[in-house]
Structures are given as structure tokens and as C-alpha cells.
Amino acid sequence: MATRERLIQAGLDLFHLHGIHPVGLDRIINKAGVTKTTFYNYFESKENFACAVLDRFGEEVHTRIFRRIVGPDAQDAKQQLLNVFDAWDELFEEQTFHGCMLVAAGVASGDAHDPARQTAIRNKRTLLSAYEELAREAGIQDPARFAMQFGVLIDGTLIARHLYGDQAKAAREMVEDLIDAALAKSGKADS
């Protein structure tokens, strides 16, 4: 595995378990098996590194969701939207998943100018844009509003799964209700 990739993987592992701000640079380089000099050959700072790790997490989530949207189970608009929810649920079931790093980084710092927070927000907005595009393709009247509601339900479900375990799986019903209501309002209930 290339050095930069080892560093990114170390960041994904450590930041997932402990958060960005509590993990020091020494811990990152020890996990990656590199020196500080090597680290600085790839990243200007820990902040720059954290942003690269968050971008990677965002890319991986977006790719996973996209695969579910265009996959064989995506025959209609409602199913495509449910597949987004299911992709997140599937991710949650993986042993290496310890929550959405984007949510964690977005709320960890009270500083609106924190680069990690800004990167997390940018990645979440990319996901919201994807949800909005799906809603638009489904014929939902106000796709931006739907995307925000849908995103809030997904993020809330991820947090609830940590707090309540499998009981939070019932949130899928709320997602189905939101989709059904939006499609019915748009006259697309049978799509």
C-alpha cells in the first residue's frame, strides 16, 4: 500500500474510533508506520490531513450510495431513495463503522472556520445534492426541501443507532412515510 494511502487509512481508523481532535500526529504516524518527515511530505498539517481523510470518507460513502442507486434493485424512484437509506444502514452494520465521520467532524468543533468542520459540511452538502437530484428525478415538487428532510432522517437514524441499537431500524418506516408523502404530493405515488 502506498505511503499516502497508509496515512489516509490510519486516519480513517483512528478518527472513526476517537474523533479528529483527540488524535495526535504521533499516533497517526505510528499507526501508518511512517516518520513525521514522511507525513509532512504528503500533508502540510494535521488539519490538511484531517480534511483529506474526511474527503476520502465522503467519497467512499458517496460511491457506496451511488452503487445502490444504480444497482439492480433500483427499479423505481421510491426504491432508489430507499436504497440510499439502506446503503447507510448497511454501512452501519460493518464492524469498522463507528458513526458518520462527517457528522462527528461537523459538530465536534464550535469554530465555524475549522477546516475539518468546513470539509465535513461540504461533503454533507454533496450528499444532500445527490438526494436532491434523486428527488428531482422522482418528480418530487420541492426536491431541496425533501433532500434536507431526508438527510436529517438519515443523520438522526445514524445517531439513534448508536444510542438505541437495532430499535432505531424502525426509522426506515419514517423514511418510507416521507418518500410516500412527497411522491403523493407530487402526484407520483405509483412511480
- The pLDDT tens digits of the residues spanning 10-59 come to 999 999 889 998 999 999 999 999 999 999 999 999 999 999 999 999 99
CATH code of the domain containing 58: 1.10.357.10
pLDDT at 74: 60
Q: How many domains does the chain have?
A: 1
pLDDT at 41: 97
Mean model confidence pLDDT for the chain: 88
Instruction: Please give the average per-residue pLDDT across 70-89, as a whole number.
Output: 79
pLDDT at 73: 60
pTM over cut 0.85: yes
A 10 A CB-CB count for 24 gives 12
Residue 171: band (very low, low, confident or very high) from pLDDT cuts 50, 70, 90: confident
Better pLDDT: 100 or 142: 142
pLDDT at 100: 86
Instruction: Please give the average per-residue pLDDT across 78-84, as a whole number.
Output: 85
Within-domain flag for 122: yes
Within-domain flag for 132: yes
Within-domain flag for 16: no
pLDDT at 191: 44
pLDDT at 93: 79
Within-domain flag for 88: yes
What percentage of the chain has pLDDT greater than the value 90?
Answer: 52
Per the CB < 8 A criterion, the answer to whether 39 and 29 are in contact is: yes
Within-domain flag for 26: no
Within-domain flag for 179: yes
Domain that holds residue 57: 53-185
C-alpha–C-alpha distance, residues 67 and 14, integer Å: 26
Instruction: Please give the average per-residue pLDDT across 87-110, as a whole number.
Output: 83
pLDDT at 59: 95
Within-domain flag for 25: no
- The pLDDT tens digits of the residues spanning 133-143 come to 989 988 899 99
Residue 64: band (very low, low, confident or very high) from pLDDT cuts 50, 70, 90: confident
Cβ neighbours for 161, distance < 8 A, ≥ 6 positions apart? 92, 168, 169
